[in-house]
Amino acid sequence: MKIPTDNASGYESARAIDREVATNYIAHLSIVDPPADDLMEELNDFDRGAMTEFLRAGFDNDDAALKNAPVAMQEFFREISVPPEWLSETDFAPGIRMFHRNSKVILASFVAGVLIEGFMTNIAKSFFITGRVRDQGVRRLQQNNRHLVESFIPGGLDREGDGWKLSVRIRIIHAQVRRLIIESDEWDVEAWGEPLSAGHLGFALTAFSARLLTHMKRLGASYSKEESVSFMAVWRYVGYLMGIPETILFRDEAEANRLFEIGGMCEPDPGIESISMANSLVNSAPLLADMTDPEVRRKFAMYIYGVSRAVIGNKLADQLKYPRTSTIGVLAWFRIQQRYEAMMRNPTLRKFPFLSRIDRTLYDQFSGLLVVSAFDEAGISYAVPDHVYNEESSKW
């Protein structure tokens, strides 16, 4: 087993706690996604227009057009279109209902906690090299949020659903970016493992799922055991569609939390890449909300920093060079807002006018990002990057 030099010290500590999980995580830092990588290797022999049209045919299940596509592509979409044996889409309903009941606090948890923790590993180096978050944080935030929403729309993970398509599109984008990074000679395999490895993606998925459940409860969401199990089932299938191998794809919340804990121990302290990503994401939120006044943007960003610090903890926040903000009462205030939302759904209580005068501006702006993000695009683009540096790539 190859141990990336950046992970050697952390691995020694982690395997003393859980040798099996630590070893499995480290092994997957050298594992990528051969089917998707082979697909992009063949597609890159075609011009950009033909490549995009082939991908459109694959996503739209256009058999006539697929007959002219490369063999690797035909095999890829044929295999991914067959659900795994363990999938039971009837298990999704409770989790989907819970998502929509708690949608505002879920988005807040996603932006303030999940995206930060999911990219605190060396996976951040790939985004830093390409400039995808550093230069286009707003776009990245929009796309992450839209993927979240589409995956929890009823039928969104059906073969023809946008949640399905966006999940598989992420897999293909990862394969193309991995190829471009390797060709650029900017990636140190000995130190970091493979770019966008199965290990790092498997770790990120635990943040998007199990950690999201933890953060949203701290911010006032409510859910039952049945709903949390269902929520994790949705994310497990999303991870499968994204190409995460079942050898590191969690089966339940407990497994996901264990991987997050032990995998995190294997990683070095957050570097400049993670610091850049975290701060770019936080400061992109005011722009996503279309705030133009610098002082309004600054105040909103500081509010998000406060929520994020309360969610991820002072240690990680300090490592990510967050500005010092007080977290006193932040979580309690968010929970109060959640109770207020539930109260205002009661027709009797809506008759009391003083309730509408409660100052909830920052909370409403933060939670309102859901609406802005979900409908960013009229459709799904099947173009892929054609240069390792985002600013030099064609639009995708």
Distance from C-alpha of 380 to C-alpha of 395, rounded to nearest angstrom: 13
- 303 three-state secondary structure: helix
CB distance 28 to 202 below 8 Å: yes
Distance from C-alpha of 246 to C-alpha of 236, rounded to nearest angstrom: 10
Per-residue pLDDT for 334 more than 70?
Answer: no
Q: Can you give the pLDDT at residue 268? A: 97
CB neighbour list of residue 182: distance below 8 Å, 6 or more residues apart: 195
pTM of the complete model: 0.89
Supply angle C-alpha 304, 307, 309, rounded to 5. Answer: 105
Q: Can you give the pLDDT at residue 37? A: 96
Q: Can you give the pLDDT at residue 280? A: 87
Radius of gyration of the chain from Cα atoms?
A: 21
- Residue ranges per domain, the chain? 14-30+91-376
Using CA atoms, how far residue 266 sits from 3, 9, 344, in Å, is: 10, 7, 46
Render pLDDT for 265-284 as a digit per residue (tens, 0 to 9): 999 999 999 999 899 888 88
CB distance 285 to 307 below 8 Å: no
Distance from C-alpha of 86 to C-alpha of 240, rounded to nearest angstrom: 11
Query: What are all long-range contacts of 321-327, with beta carbons under 8 Å and residues at least 24 apart?
Result: 321/275, 321/279, 322/278, 322/279
Structure tokens at 382: 């099947």
pLDDT grade for 132, boundaries at 50, 70 and 90:
low
Using CA atoms, how far residue 142 sits from 128, 219, 227, 291, in Å, is: 18, 22, 26, 15
Q: Can you give the pLDDT at residue 215? A: 93
Q: Can you give the pLDDT at residue 343? A: 53
- 38 three-state secondary structure: helix
Distance from C-alpha of 241 to C-alpha of 244, rounded to nearest angstrom: 7
